[in-house]
Every structure is written in C-alpha cells, then in structure tokens.
Amino acid sequence: MYPSRFGYESPRALDEAIELLTRGQGEAKILAGGQSLIPMLKLRFASPEMLVDINNLPGLSHLTVDPDGSLRVGALCRHSQLERAAALAGPFPTIAAAAPLVADPIVRNRGTLVGSICHADPQGDWAAVAIALGASVVAQGPSGRRRIPVADFVSGPFQNVLAYDEVAVEVVFPAAAGTAAGGYLKLERRVGDFATAGVAVGLERSGSVVTRAGMALTGVGGATIDASGAAQALVGGELTADRIARAAEGAAAAAKPRSDHRGSAAYKRHIVHTFVTRILTRVADDVERAA
Amino acid sequence: MTALDEIKIGGLGASRRRVEDNRFIRGKGNYVDDIVLPGMLHMEILRSPVAHARIVSIDTSKAWAIPGVRLVLTGEMMAKRNLAWMPTLSYDTQAVLATDKVRFQGQEVACVIADDPYIAKDACEAIVVEYETLPVVVNPEQALATDAPLIRDDKENQQDNVVFDWEVGDAAGTDRAFAQADLVSKIELHYPRSHPSPIECCGSIADFDRSTSKLTVYMTTQAPHIIRAAVSLVAELPEHMIRIVSPDIGGGFGNKVPVYPGYVMSILASILLERPVKWIEDKTGNLISTGFGRDVYLRGEMALRKDGKILGVRMHTLSDHGAFFADAQPSKFKIGLMHSAFAAYDIPAAHLLARGVYTNKAPGGVAYRCSFRVTEAMFFQERMVQAAADDLGMDQAEFRRVNFVRDDDFPHRTAFGFLTDSGQYGKCLDVGLEAIGYADFQERKKEAAARGRLLGIGISTMTEPLGAGNSREYDILGIKMFDSAELRVHMTGKALLRTGAKTQGQGHETTWAQIVAHELGLPAEDVVVEEGDTDTAPFGMGTYASRSTPVAGAAVAMVARKIRAKARKLAAHLLEVSEEDVEWELGRFYVRSAPNRGVTIQECAAAAYSNMPDGMEPGLENVAYYDPPNLTWPFACYIATVEVDPQTGVWDVLNFVAVDDCGVRINPMIVEGQIMGGLTEAYAMASMQFITYDAEGNCVGSNYMDYLLPTAWETPGFELHEVVTPCPHHPIGAKGIGECATVGGPAAFVNAVMDALKGFGVRNIDMPMLPDRVHEAITTGRDVSGHPPVRQDD
C-alpha cells in the first residue's frame, strides 16, 4: 500500500494551519487522528497535494464542561478520552453510550470525534450522536469563527460545509434543560466494521415528561439521517408504549437504507425500529425505577 | 544415579515455552520484507479491475518514462520467453501475466520494477490498458449454463467450464442401501469461499547472480522444496543452481503453498536486470488473487433405518475453482480428501460424485488450515448428521453414538476406502457432553424459551485424515509425500536438527527439539532447529495439511533413533562391554549387570569425535526419510451452546467445549494454542468470514474492512479437554492437531444455531450466519442460502 506523493506540513499555531489551507486552495487536507484519511491515502482513494498535520497545535485536546453545562470537544480530543470520561454518563448519556462503540480500541486511541464528524461518513457514529443532541461545529477561518449546527454541517456522504480554508476546532454539545436521557445502539457484524444500522437518541425530561427529543440514524442512508421529526412523537408526555411505537415507526420510515452485504433494506429498517424501541424502553424503565 | 526427568529436560509432554518467541517479541524476527540486499529493486503488480475481458492493448510508454523505472513487464514480453503461463499444482496452467484476456478481477496484467516501491506503484498507474469486457461467470450455475461464456478458451479441447468430473465409492451398493432405507434425509449446503489471509502477505526477493549462474529466492513459502522443483521447471534452471530460502513466515494457513505469478515475475526480472528484485504483495492483492479456500456446494442424502442406523450416504459436490485449477492437493484426488467424510461412522455404503467448474474468480482451492478439502467434508458430514437426527426425531448425541465406529473395531475400513486405526469416539463424546451439561440443557432451553429467549446446542464430532501421506497414494506433481530430518550431534552433545518441513507459527523450533530430547535425553535447549533453506535442509514436502508432526516429526524421532543406535556402539566401546550388554535409559547407556557403570549420551557424542573404536566412521550425524504407513486419525468432539436474539438475528456463544484426541501430545501448551486458534477460525467461518462476488465479478472482501476476521472482542472463550489414544504407527504415538478445530468447529456453531431455530421450521442457514440471514430465517421460516441455488444433474 503506497500512497501517491504528497507534501506534509506540521504547523505549530492555528493561524499557520489556516494559512497553509488557504494556500492549498482546496488541495490540502487536515490530518488529525488519521484513522480514515491514512487508509484512504494508502488505497489511493484520496490523493491530496498536502497534508496539514494539526497534531502539534496547542489547545485542541480539550474535553471541557463549561459553567453553563455545555460540553466542548476539541479537534484533538481522542475517542478514548470520551470513552474514559465517566462523568459524561449523567449529563450526556448518549455520548457515554456511543463512545465505547466507536470502531475498535486501537482506532479510539487515535481517532477524534471532530475528525469523524468532518469526515461525514454516513456510517460514522458521532454525527448521529451530535445531531440527536443538537450539537454544533465551531469552525475557524481567515475571517474568524462561526458555529454550524451538525445537522447542517454534514451536507452529504463524505461532504461537509467547511470552506477549504476553515478548521473545525471543536464541537459543542448544549447542556440539557432538565434531566438528560437517551442512548446509542449499533449493529455491526464485527467490532470495527461499518455499522449495519445505528440509532442515537437524545432526550431531555422534566420528571417523567419528555421536554425535548432528538434522534439520528447511522448507516441507513447516503448521509447521517436526522430523525428528530419522528422523535417529536415523544415530546410533551411520558414515554408510553404507544409513543415509543410511534417514534420507532417514524424512525424506520425516515431511514433510507440500501440492500447490501450487511443486510436488506427491510432488515436495516427493522433494526432501526428495534433499536429505537430498545433505547426508549430502557429509558422508560429507568424513569419508572427512579420514580 | 537417578534417571533424567523428561519434563525437566523439555521432552515429550513438557509445556516448554516457544523458543522462537524470544526473537518475535523482541522484534527480531526475520521476514522476507526485512531482508535488504545491495542494489535491490522493487516490483509492483498492475492487476485487472474487471473480471472477464479481452485485452485490446497495453500501453506502457508513460510508465517507462517515469524516472527510476527499470523494467516494465507485460504478458507479451513473458510469452516471448515462454513464461506467460505456468503449471499449477493440479496439472492445469495459470497465466503469469495475462496475454489474451483477463479471467478474474485482480489478475496480473503487468508489473513494474523500479528503484523504490512508490515509483513502481506510480508507474503501474501510468500503464494504460484497454479492455473489451466479456460476460462474467460468478457461480457454478452460471458456469454450467448452456450459453455460458467459455472461460478457458486458451485450452485446446476445453469445450465448457467443467474442470473435472470425479467419483469415488460404491454407486451400486449405495443405491441398494437407499432402496432399503426407512427414511432418506436430504440437505443442500454451501461452504462459502474464504481466504486464509495470513497477516503477512506473499512476497519474494529474487537474486540472480550472473557470475555463478545461481538463483537465490527468499520467499514466503510453506514448501520450499516443492517451489524449487517448480521454479526449476518454469525457469528452466537446474535444481542445484536454485536456492529457495523461506525465512520467518507471518502465517501461512495453506495460502503460501502454491506458486504465484509474482514469484515468477520477480525471478525473471532479476535474471534480466541482474539485480535483486523484491516483491511484497499488499493486502488487497493477497485477498483478491491468491489461493482461496472452500467454495463448494453439496447435495447430501443419507439412507436411514428407523432405529437410527445409517445405511448409506450420497454426496454430490459442485466446487468453484475460479479461473485456473490451482488447488494444492495430492494429484490422485480431484476434490482433495472430500471422501474422508463419515470416517468416524460405521457406514456400509457411500458414493461421492464431484464436479468442479471454472468461474471468473481468483484461483486457489488451497487447503486453508486443513488437509485438502477435509474442512468441507467434515462440515457437510456433521450438518448431514444433525439433519438426519432431526428427521428421525432422535437425540443428536444418541444418533452419533449409534453410528460411531466402536473402539474394538479398529483398524476400520471406511465406506470410501480409508483405513482408520485408532480412537475412542464414544469416550470423547461423553467427556464433551458432561462438560457442557448436556443432560440439563433441554431443561435450560425450555426455561429460557418461557422468557422469550432462544437457546440451542450443537455437536460436531469427526475423525480426519492428517499427515499425507504414504507414498503409495500421495504425491504432488509426482513427488511422493514423505518428509525428512537430519540430525548432527556435536562433540559437546549439543545438536543441530534440520527438517524438510517449514514452521509458520506451529512452533517446530520448540517441539522438534522436544522429540530429540525424548529420544536421546539431550536437553531440548541443546538442540537448535533450522528449516526453510533448500541448500541446507534435507528434501521434504513442507508444512501444510497437519503433516509436520505426523511425517517430519516422525522423521525426527527416526533420525534420533539412528543416532542412538550409533551411540550405543560408542557406549559399548567406552564401557568395554559388548553392545548386547548395554541398556538404555533416557540420556544414558549402562551395563546391564552393573547399572552404576554407564555413560551419558553427551559422553558418547564426545567419543564420536575423539575416541571412536577402530574401523568406526567418525562423527555423529544422520538423516532419516520417513514415509508414513498411513495417515494419522485424530478425533474431536466440539459442542457449542448459543443464544439467538430473535429480534435482530444476532447470536452469541454461551459455552464451547472442545475434546481433542490427537494421540500423544508433544507440547501440551502448543497443542492448546493450535486448538484455540483453530476454533477462532471455526467461529469466524460460522459467523462472518467469507469472500463473495457481485454480479460483475467484483470481489467483496478485498480488504479487512470488507473481509471480516473476528477479533478478541467477538471470539468466545473455549473450554478444552483431552483424551489420548496414541497413533499405533507413529514412532511417538502422535497425530496431527493443527487443523482439527478449524475442520470440526464450524458445524458445532451452525448446528447450535439451527437447534435454537428448530421451532421456526428452518433447516439450514448457509455460513456465515450473519445476523440478517438468521433474522430472515426466523421471520420467513425458510432456509437461507448464501448463494443462488445450484442444480446439478445426477
């Protein structure tokens, strides 16, 4: 496996990185964890003229909860940091559920959440989690910073809305109003395989009443699917069997899977339905136990 | 004087730590890619992106123009030197570089030799090939269709896509058995195509020295001497001018037995350029072009009596060999040892009808961690056995017990003509049933069902023929399948052992020394083992088909005995008694009438160089060529319990029990490691590991994202048990073990899942039992075939 010839730069400051990207005119590619980019280079699926390695940039490894309760994940924060952050389980249960399911332990030690969202692989886990939780990407370019909701950030398979001279410096997950609940389930044929199907659910509740619901689907469409519309069935009441069934049916209908060697479209839809039901039933059980 | 403790000196039965691991864990292994020769160039191969196409033109001009490119080879240039085609190990021909057309995706079309591999890869991409695509054949049904495109139009007299029709057994007797049957049980199965996928891919460094006319090839081969013979044939160089060196190998599993085009190209390039040429295959190249395993369909029928007795068996196999018939197997048997099926069962009559076809897929049919199609044979057998027990409404363990060959019935001639010689099948089954808790399982299953959970239990029992072979029946390219060992004991009693086998992880450097320790009483650590260099190793057929211990291991014992015979003469001389008065105990000769008067084997070794009797040839070394009288027949009983999630089709292994009887165990730790590894591969086959092709002939499984190998995360735990029935003809009573678990394991998993799904009216799910397939079976109540159904005329 020998990649095509490429240039390599390892800037020490964010401005320098942005300057390199600007000079690259779209032919430069950011290297963070490299867990998708390096295989693509070796398979010659990607042949950028230059790699801008951001691993030496200071101040991007953070995993921080702000005073207002929102979570900021820096561009160099590895999946394994999220996996080990036990404190996330309470305020961000969807993240805590997804972190150990991302790829395999080796990839998790190196790969990054921000990189995964930028890569925009429809089979990537984090985009679904971020959409379900209403998270945003913070991008910095020559003219400053902007915030882009992840639901708008992913524009298609392996496509995002970043300009070529912008760096995604962090992803911000807003704090839940009330109690956070939710989960992430994924079917994969083997640890590290692309998802056959995955479901991310992010809820906020006040007592037993759901006040906000987000949902997104992994691996069942050309891009990560925002199924928050289907999740609206849950808002404004308790997690009854009827509401759960309507959300599951809505999610299955929102999925746009294709039949392939991971299963038929009908099977993948069925898995989405099953997983939505399982996540919500578990949340309902937890609520009941807590009451 | 107390006798030596055999375990302490690392003899038979010692779980001695693997000596080779010392260098591996220090990063000091020496693989082909670690070897760097002065002036070495690098080769990369351009492969066909399409499965079946006529080559209209190849334009290499842009590749030649890239600085650092030394040579670009195409089929046309190979043809001028009569090297465009080479013989396969199954008497077919295979294209080295395509001339007329490409016949599978990934076939070698051109190659570039350059100063570094990056340049070579760039130059490959600069080669322009124009293809005129042809209709593609991806399964036997298409291959046998009346309007099928002729894949091998290069062969004279080849009118269709049939590779062979072959049969074995007693057709008339089997027909009579079926006429008497109370019940006929039928099942159709597919053992999917898989790839052995060693972590280290194939590679070679060819180094032709014009000044000596000698060709040295460092390469990843499991069988260096066979390769030397093949290179001699293909390259028309005399054998003594060819040296094949197989250094450390990062796994073989049968994938590194055949001769591959890359080897031949690197050799020709080195001869033309007079510089060493290194070729290191990448993972995709390895997965899409080198020897695959399996890809066989079965239609099986069993004639049964009401009381459970099997009266006869019919097997019709249809095997997909890809574009070239390149199976690595003994010449006499077209579908390997498929007819070893049912060897554990006392069956009056059996008949096997086998047909092989060409398709537009990679060639191979190698013995992937098995003894030539024995994996398919035993899988088919144990699936047929479960189906038959179900059809009879009989307990699956009881059905096996009724039909097993009994302990007092050896030697036993199987219905297909093999001679089995030893075993305690019933005992192995009992140990397994006890360990898994068989007696209580049905109760557990019922309780679980009441809570909506699906449990199942599956058994697989088998004896398989390992250690080809005897020279009467087994040869490859006409060379008989014996093996060899050469032992040189130095004057200090330290020793050097060389064999014709070639370790690839089996631990020969550890275990061969243990056999010497057992035979001579030399501490195992005093014996260095070398293999893999044809200039120094005695001629042998290499390591595959679990033949190392049965054949080369036997040769080690035999050469040690030759050494001991000479040492006895030296001892008699030193002790000043006649040879008849000398007795042997481990490591020492003594005078029968005065046991305290003795000499150690080390003292005898010193005498061989310093104090030999008049007229005796000095030195203490010998060689043994061993032609085994029979194959060895280990037995295994594997039992799995599983739980199936009916909503998703996901299944998990609850418990797995393995009872292996491989005769005497040389190094129990290594044996257990072999069983663990084999069971992991068995689980892989059952759950996820296969190579498939789309309708255009694109290989789905060309890298590790698509070709799934289980990791430590998925692989269940295995509980191991043993029964020991020594092999009656092997010098130390050992039988093969490296492949039992891969061979016998898959059926245990499938039988367990099918047992769990009994209530759904499902009889079969083809491997791998991926969740979507299991779910489909549950929801439809129908069998799930991995491929379109394939019909075959009787």
ipTM surpassing 0.90: yes
In angstroms, rounded to a whole number, what is the distance separating the alpha carbons of residues A129 and A82? Answer: 13
| B628 to chain A, closest Cα gap in Å | 43
Residue B51 above 90 pLDDT?
Answer: yes
Give the contacts of B359 (CB within 8 A, at least 6 positions apart): B137, B138, B139, B140, B142, B143, B151, B161, B320, B321, B322, B323
Q: pLDDT of B346-375, one tens digit each?
A: 999 999 999 999 999 999 889 999 989 999
Residue appearing with tokens 């392996």: A158
pLDDT, chain B, mean: 96
Residue B789 above 80 pLDDT?
Answer: no
- Counting one residue from chain A and one from chain B, the pairs whose CB atoms sit within 8 A come to 59
Is residue B780 less than 8 Å (CB to CB) from chain A?
no
Measured on CA atoms in the order B246, B249, B255, B260, is the torsion positive or negative?
A: negative
Helix (H, G, I), strand (E, B) or coil at A204: strand
Query: CB–CB of A192 and B776 under 8 A?
Result: no
Q: pLDDT of B522-566, one tens digit each?
A: 999 999 999 999 999 999 999 999 999 999 999 999 999 999 999
Q: pLDDT of A105-119, one tens digit each?
A: 999 999 999 999 999
Domain ranges, ordered by start, for chain B:
21-28+483-626, 32-134+201-249+256-289, 293-468+630-780
- Does residue B222 carry a catalytic annotation? yes
Assess contact for B218 and B247: CB atoms under 8 A: yes
Assess contact for B727 and B630: CB atoms under 8 A: no
- Return residues 699-718 of B near A (CB < 8 Å): 700, 703, 705-706, 708-711, 713-714
Is the CATH number of domain B32-134+201-249+256-289 3.90.1170.50? Answer: yes
Answer yes or no: same fold for B21-28+483-626 and B32-134+201-249+256-289. no
Q: pLDDT of B490-526, one tens digit each?
A: 999 999 999 999 999 999 999 999 999 999 999 999 9
Q: pLDDT of B163-202, one tens digit each?
A: 999 999 999 999 999 999 999 999 999 999 999 999 999 9
Please give the CATH topology (third level) of the domain spanning A63-173.
3.30.465
Which part of chain A is CATH 3.30.43.10?
Answer: 7-53
Q: Which chain B residue lies closest to A105 (C-alpha atoms)?
A: B713
- The count of other CB atoms within 10 Å of the CB of residue B625 is 17
- Half-sphere exposure of residue B9: CA atoms within 13 angstroms, side-chain side: 22
Measured on CA atoms in the order B124, B125, B127, B133, is the torsion positive or negative?
A: positive
DSSP string, B351-387: EEEEEEE--SS------TTSSSSHHHHHHHHHHHHHH
β-sheet bridge partners, residue B242 = B215
Is the CATH number of domain A7-53 3.30.43.10? Answer: yes
Residue B151 above 50 pLDDT?
Answer: yes
- Does residue B370 carry a catalytic annotation? yes
| Secondary structure element (H or E) that encloses residue B626, with its range | strand B621-626
Is the CATH number of domain B21-28+483-626 3.30.365.10? Answer: yes
Predicted confidence band of residue B1 (pLDDT cuts 50, 70, 90): low
Predicted confidence band of residue A85 (pLDDT cuts 50, 70, 90): very high
Q: What is the pLDDT of residue B498?
A: 98
Helix (H, G, I), strand (E, B) or coil at B510: helix
Predicted confidence band of residue B67 (pLDDT cuts 50, 70, 90): very high
In angstroms, rounded to a whole number, what is the distance separating the alpha carbons of residues A39 and B37? Answer: 29
In angstroms, rounded to a whole number, what is the distance separating the alpha carbons of residues A166 and A54? Answer: 13
Residue A5 above 80 pLDDT?
Answer: yes
Predicted confidence band of residue B478 (pLDDT cuts 50, 70, 90): confident
Residue B791 above 80 pLDDT?
Answer: no
Q: Which of these, B379, B384, B353, B356, lies nearest to B368 by C-alpha position?
A: B379
Contacting residues of B for A259, CB less than 8 Å apart? none
| B716 to chain A, closest Cα gap in Å | 13
| B475 to chain A, closest Cα gap in Å | 37
Contacting residues of A for B117, CB less than 8 Å apart? 2
Assess contact for B636 and B461: CB atoms under 8 A: yes
- Residue of B197, B648, B688, B691 to mutate for A, most A C-beta atoms under 10 A: B648
Q: What is the pLDDT of residue B328?
A: 86
pLDDT, chain A, mean: 96
Residue B186 burial class via C-beta count within 10 angstroms: exposed 0-12, middle 13-18, buried 19 and up: middle
CA gyration radius, chain A: 19
In angstroms, rounded to a whole number, what is the distance separating the alpha carbons of residues B216 and B255? Answer: 22
**Top-level CATH class of B293-468+630-780?**
alpha beta
- The count of other CB atoms within 10 Å of the CB of residue A158 is 18
Q: Is the peptide bond before B411 cis (omega within 30 degrees of 0)?
A: yes
Q: What is the mean pLDDT of residues B155-164?
A: 96
- Does residue B739 carry a catalytic annotation? yes
β-sheet bridge partners, residue B190 = B297
Residue A179 burial class via C-beta count within 10 angstroms: exposed 0-12, middle 13-18, buried 19 and up: middle
Assess contact for B738 and B722: CB atoms under 8 A: no
Q: What is the pLDDT of residue B787?
A: 64
Assess contact for A118 and A81: CB atoms under 8 A: no
Q: What is the pLDDT of residue B296?
A: 96
Which part of chain A is CATH 3.30.465.10?
Answer: 63-173
Predicted confidence band of residue B793 (pLDDT cuts 50, 70, 90): very low
Task: Report the interhelical angle of B668-687 vs B740-756 (nearest 10°).
Answer: 40
Q: What is the pLDDT of residue B786?
A: 77
CATH number given to A179-290: 3.30.390.50
